Structure 1
């Protein structure tokens, strides 16, 4: 049986001696990607997960009757919150959908009151940044920097080469996954399977404070329209924006429902905070539901209109409650570069970033 949840204390984090230097170098690589793409497009996009495939509005309902170890922070009491989610893929440039990379889902919950994280004082949002794999592609900030440097070097390269590389890498990665040894690096380079994003489970990958405890988050599809898509592929040949079409087809007909679940840390040796490449297994701690995300039938992507919405939104794991402080060196490394990235988009596009107080404020 799983043990008792580990109590949060600042001692669970162990910053590296030269972490600030590495974070500064990460900012430089983010700048390279964003300045390159802004020059190419005449418009600033995100340094990672630049291409959105759907932006959907819904509500997050926190469950009642949660046991004390789960009734923490945002989930301390039942409630209903407005929410908006952005579905994307990983590269920092906007590519043909035949270049397959990990899917992402960023969720912003609106109207959340409580003590705030530094830099988000006065806001009432809680952001979750999730990817369709349980582990991060780098164990620490130095490897994170190495991966981002590689991505920066491939930004603005000929798209046809990326499409060809993706076609070569996909069967290699599929073979590795078949024997239980997936490669996050191959996935990032275009070897990910062309899965339908609405059927995927999305993971925080990194650890967070969970009130008195420590946890990871995951968003599981639960409605029938979504679960039937799990493992299915989107056919992208000759369709550069095929994923947007696939997302629209499902959402306009059925909408969707997901469960937000929490995996509590119960053993710091087996479930480390500082190494995000170590999977926290369900045997050590199962994912337990704490809230439901419901999206009514709607278009996931509307030409022109969704682009304006996308420009107005920024997501950062440091937008949120002190009770859900991001933990570990990868999360610490995200804070300043993500803010810098959002500020660059705001200045370049003439659309300064601000956190919404209500969903009606989002264009």
Structure 2
């Protein structure tokens, strides 16, 4: 393992010079999807374009640890302390449905309160919240905005392909590889194809509390470059009631599992940072590559405490639905890096459409207690 961490400089990013044009097309796609969602998802309400189905909003506390090694104690992790937080557990699917239909992809979005400093979400620079948006996969399914545009369109219609069995899956993969027939052969999306195959062949279903969640993309980490994850704390994991889950036993499995666990006892996750030591083996601009832990292990910088609580009842979903999570709601010391992380600025536009249609406030909450007393 190398101890020479790569220093952050703006030059490490590779951004398509036509990104603004591509972003306009991507935003248009997600805004149209959001406006149509009350009808297409059958709820009469606008639904998130991604992470559409919630498995519960959970009250939490983030403890920033003392005595963290200096290279890891950067930005918000430099000062030990405790912060109120909210976590939204969700499916990673772009649609609603039964858990079996949506599959094992899980999201973990955490909103941390009372974080000083201007935030990078353009409409909310004075917000005191700080967001991490994580998934139970260390890699993403696209490396460029150009590829993202057609892959998200294909993913949005994945069920139409998959209902036709093997033939439909083959067509889906061919569409990804060739950009729906629009890419020249030298541009074919091989890396994206392999990432999607890895994703769709993951069939092991676990309790969300026994699941590790990653940032997938790289972020600035003060003087350095990092990826972030939360992993179940070993001492908490031993007390979990439900381990491997069977999604076929009912339409909803993840939510009642989470509710059951948190009514029984508290739970902790480790908040961890992996620093980049080699830009070739640990690229910033290629999200389909997992950073090797043998080159740089994850180091714990904080603890996410989930107290014992009752998350049952429809009001929990309503409160979670009114929140917006955004990778860019961070301070400059934790700026998302690379083209795809820049694409994810679109969460602001998507959230505005959803909250407007649902008559929900656009402003950030001021504390965890103001949402979940």
Q: TM class, shorter-chain normalised?
A: 0.7 to 0.9
Task: Report deviation, 1:76.
Answer: 1.0
Q: Is the 8 A contact 1:216 1:262 kept in 2?
A: yes
Alignment partner of 2:136 out of 128, 132, 139: 132
Task: Report deviation, 1:209.
Answer: 0.5
In the other structure, the counterpart of 2:362 is 353
1:85-109 deviation line (CA, Å, top 9, x unaligned) = 1111111211101121411101111
Evaluate the alpha carbon distance shift between residue 46 and residue 165 of structure 1 in structure 2; reply closer, same or farther with a 3 A threshold: farther
Task: Report deviation, 1:7.
Answer: 1.1
Task: Report deviation, 1:353.
Answer: 2.1
Alignment partner of 2:110 out of 104, 107, 118: 107
Task: Report deviation, 1:238.
Answer: 4.3
1:289-314 deviation line (CA, Å, top 9, x unaligned) = 00000011113x42321122112211
Task: Report deviation, 1:77.
Answer: 1.0
Q: Distance in 1 between matches of 2:6 and 2:241?
A: 33
Map of 1:289-300 to 2, 5 A cutoff? 289-299=300-310
For structure 1, list consecutive stretches of 5 or more residues without a partner in the other structure.
Answer: 170-181
User: For structure 1, which segment, 77-86 or 30-39, has the greater mean C-alpha deviation from structure 2 after superposition?
Assistant: 30-39
Evaluate the alpha carbon distance shift between residue 222 and residue 163 of structure 1 in structure 2; reply closer, same or farther with a 3 A threshold: farther
Evaluate the alpha carbon distance shift between residue 305 and residue 85 of structure 1 in structure 2; reply closer, same or farther with a 3 A threshold: same
Task: Report deviation, 1:196.
Answer: 1.9
In the other structure, the counterpart of 2:335 is 325
Q: Distance in 1 between matches of 2:369 and 2:258?
A: 23
Task: Report deviation, 1:162.
Answer: 6.0
Q: Distance in 2 between matches of 1:308 and 1:278?
A: 36
Q: Distance in 1 between matches of 2:165 and 2:262?
A: 31
In the other structure, the counterpart of 2:67 is 65
CA RMSD of aligned residues (A): 2.5
In the other structure, the counterpart of 1:334 is 344
Task: Report deviation, 1:254.
Answer: 1.6
1:35-55 deviation line (CA, Å, top 9, x unaligned) = 332223210110001001121
In the other structure, the counterpart of 1:56 is 58
Q: Is the 8 A contact 2:118 2:127 kept in 1?
A: no
1:147 aligns with 2:151: yes
1:226 aligns with 2:226: no
Q: Is the 8 A contact 2:240 2:261 kept in 1?
A: no
Q: Distance in 1 between matches of 2:34 and 2:86?
A: 24
Q: Is the 8 A contact 1:135 1:276 kept in 2?
A: yes
Map of 1:149-168 to 2, 5 A cutoff? 149-154=153-158
Q: Distance in 2 between matches of 1:118 and 1:31?
A: 18
Map of 1:268-307 to 2, 5 A cutoff? 268-299=279-310, 301-307=311-317
In the other structure, the counterpart of 2:264 is 253
- TM-score in terms of structure 2 length: 0.86
Q: Distance in 2 between matches of 1:2 and 1:151?
A: 38
1:40-75 deviation line (CA, Å, top 9, x unaligned) = 321011000100112111100001112221111111
Q: Distance in 1 between matches of 2:253 and 2:283?
A: 38
Task: Report deviation, 1:194.
Answer: 2.6
In the other structure, the counterpart of 2:120 is 117
Length, aligned pairs only: 344
Evaluate the alpha carbon distance shift between residue 142 and residue 231 of structure 1 in structure 2; reply closer, same or farther with a 3 A threshold: farther
In the other structure, the counterpart of 2:254 is 243
Task: Report deviation, 1:269.
Answer: 1.5
Q: Distance in 2 between matches of 1:190 and 1:34?
A: 28
Q: Distance in 1 between matches of 2:113 and 2:279?
A: 32
What SS does the aligned partner of 1:361 have? coil
For structure 2, list consecutive stretches of 5 or more residues without a partner in the other structure.
Answer: 170-192
Q: Is the 8 A contact 1:343 1:352 kept in 2?
A: no
In the other structure, the counterpart of 2:89 is 87
In the other structure, the counterpart of 1:25 is 25
